[in-house]
Structure formats: C-alpha cells, structure tokens
C-alpha cells in the first residue's frame, strides 16, 4: 500500500498502520515542522518527506492507495478563537481536498481519512460537503 500522509506531524499515521497490521510499501509525508520531521525520521527512516503541502503540484507520486491526515484545527477548536476557515492554518483543509481530488484522477478507488477536532456543525457541514461523506466520531484515547 502506498500512503500519503498530509500534515504528517511525527508520523503517527505510520504507527497506526503498523499497529493495524497494514503493510506499507511507501509512505510519503507532507510536513513543515522541523522538529516533527526529525522525530519522524528518527523513528521511521524509510518515510519520504515531501515538505510543504502548498507545493503539492511539484510532487511526483506513484499510485496512492490511501490519503491520511489532519488539517490544522486551530480555527475549528473551541479552545481557539473559532475563526474557522478564516484562520490561515485551518484553511489548509482546502489543500487536502485539492490533493485528494488530484489523486482520485489517478486512482478513483483511493481511500482517505481526515482527522480533526469536534467543531460547530456549520463548519463540519462544509467539510462534509467537500468530502462528500458524513464524519464519524472516534475516541482518540482508544
């Protein structure tokens, strides 16, 4: 399975896939935080770092089987200022959508998972409309 992890952080997506027993052929990661990348590379030397999601059109990827990631949540979190898509970090959700749609052109059967925080229904509805799915709530402590 070829995996593309957007907003990869310290590559917890790789850990989840390993724990689920899913064999990963290639794992591509988009992340800009240098500390997160350093931890990812220390724990998973085979991850291919792609850099900034805003430069996704420059990536030369093979067929991707699953896209995972969690776009920045600061604009949606009740702990934040609730700027929703007016927050320059949370608006990166639309980059996730663009990448996913581009990959769907190559592989219409691509799977995806988008992680985020609990948020107001009006913002959740926008995300659901763009992805054409209804979200499910998963207890992250499990």
Instruction: Report the DSSP pairing between strands 66-69 and 48-49.
Output: unpaired
H helix runs in 11-140, sequence order: 12-19, 34-43, 93-106, 121-131
CA of 92: how far to CAs of 22, 24, 33, 42, 59, in Å?
A: 28, 26, 15, 27, 17
Eight-class DSSP state of 22 = -
The residues annotated as belonging to the active site are 73
Cα distance between residue 27 and residue 97, in whole Å: 19
């Amino acid at each position: 399975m070829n995996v593309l992890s957007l907003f990869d952080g310290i590559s917890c997506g790789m850990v989840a896939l390993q724990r689920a027993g899913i064999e990963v052929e290639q794992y591509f990661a988009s992340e800009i935080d240098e500390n997160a990348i350093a931890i990812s590379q220390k724990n998973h030397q085979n991850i291919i770092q792609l850099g900034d999601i805003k430069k996704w059109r420059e990536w030369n990827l093979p067929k991707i089987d699953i896209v995972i990631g969690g776009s920045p949540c600061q604009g949606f979190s009740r702990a934040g200022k609730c700027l929703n898509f007016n927050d320059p970090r949370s608006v990166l959700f639309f980059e996730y959508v663009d990448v996913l749609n581009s990959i769907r052109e190559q592989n219409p059967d691509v799977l995806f998972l988008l992680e985020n925080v609990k948020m107001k229904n009006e913002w959740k509805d926008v995300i659901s409309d763009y992805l054409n799915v209804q979200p499910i709530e998963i207890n992250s402590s499990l």
